[in-house]
Amino acid sequence: QVQLVESGGGLVQPGGSLRLSCAASGSIFSIYDMGWYRQAPGKERELVAHITVASITTYADGVKGRFTIARENAKKMLYLQMNSLKLEDTAVYYCRASRVYNYWGQGTQVTVSS
């Protein structure tokens, strides 16, 4: 079992940047595929970016070229670098660990507003 805690959210203007972090504890981090998801008000939770145990990455079409997912296994950390933020990126962002089961963090709010 793994516990996840996200941080790094906040208020940013359009075009700005944020880096989200997800700290894992309780299990061997390197055996989990990891992902960042987001949920905007009134919408379903959606995949933003995913990174496998082999560090193969995939991105949602709307964030390609703007967001970068990375993992640091030795520190049990997952990151999401978000650049050129848009109003539509406003959401609660969650990290998820996947192996046999899925484990979720509590989320961190990202608000893009002028």
* DSSP 3-state of 22: strand
Q: Are 105 and 94 in contact (CB under 8 A)?
A: yes
Give pLDDT, residue 81.
98
Q: 98: part of which helix (H) or strand (E)?
A: strand 91-98
Give 50-94 pLDDT, tens digit per residue.
999 999 999 999 999 999 999 999 999 999 999 999 999 999 999
For residue 22, pLDDT beyond 90 = yes
* DSSP 3-state of 40: coil
Give 94-105 pLDDT, tens digit per residue.
999 999 999 999
- pLDDT over 90 for what percent of the chain? 93
- pLDDT over 70 for what percent of the chain? 100
Which residues contact residue 37 at a Cβ distance below 8 angstroms, ignoring those fewer than 6 apart? 45, 46, 47, 48, 93, 94, 95, 96
For residue 26, pLDDT beyond 90 = no
